[in-house]
Amino acid sequence: MARTIKISLNSKVFEPSIQALSREKLYGFIEELVQDEHAKTCIVGALLSDGQTLIGKGCTSLKTIDERGEEVNKSSLKAVDIKGKSLPLVPSVFETGIILQAGSLDDLFDLEVDAVYDFNWEDEAMKKDFLKETQGKVYTFEFNYRSDYEGMNGILISNEEGAFILAGRTLQFDYLDNHIQTIINLPDAVEEEESDMDFAMF
């Protein structure tokens, strides 16, 4: 059973589960099939810098090593500030739940979206009640799918058919302002004298 999130709104608590949406899920994907002259499927590989060693798909990974070249277990790593003090973890929404706050379209437009999540409802009546409460509105909240050191911003949007969570980071814009007022004197407009010229003369 998928983990559920407690969402609080107007003294009500809703408990749906969520799933990440991707372009592959929405539009499908294309997989390239490579065959040799005998119609046998080829396996994609990579050639190492020695010019003779082939490695197949899934045979490479990123590792963290210390100054002695030994692999470091990622669970032993921790984030610190500029003074070396340990930073606290931002908990997951599965632990804290979500408290929806009224937002605006500006909040939505200022969000740099990293991921989109769809809702799954086991209780259809709860889904209808949730959509009725949130339909056509924008809500903001703190969103962190997994516990980490950064945290993210979340926006909830919905209509009569469904609701979505947009997760990312709110961008801060610094607008330029001209503090020096410049007075521009424009010359007075000179009215042209009326002419009795008839263009039919040409």
Cβ contacts of residue 121 below 8 Å, gap of 6+?
A: 16, 127, 130
Q: Which CATH architecture has domain 1-24+87-174?
A: Beta Barrel (2.40)
Q: CB burial class (10 A; 0-12, 13-18, 19+) of residue 137?
A: middle
173, 192 Cβ separation under 8 angstroms: no
- Judge whether residue 139 has pLDDT over 90: yes
* Mean residue pLDDT across the chain: 85
Mean pLDDT computed over 95-120: 92
The pLDDT tens digits for 46-98 are: 888 888 888 887 787 788 888 888 888 877 878 888 888 888 888 899 999 99
Specify the pLDDT at position 164. 93
Q: What is the DSSP string of 142-193?
A: EE-SS-BSS-EEEEEEE-SS-EEEEEEEE---------S----PPPPPPPPP
Greatest CA span in the chain, whole angstroms?
Answer: 97
183, 162 Cβ separation under 8 angstroms: no
- Partners of 102 in beta bridges: 139
Highest mean pLDDT among 13-27, 29-43, 106-120, 186-200: 106-120
For the chain, the C-alpha Rg in angstroms (whole number) is 30
- Judge whether residue 161 has pLDDT over 90: no
- The pTM for the full model equals 0.66
Specify the pLDDT at position 118. 92
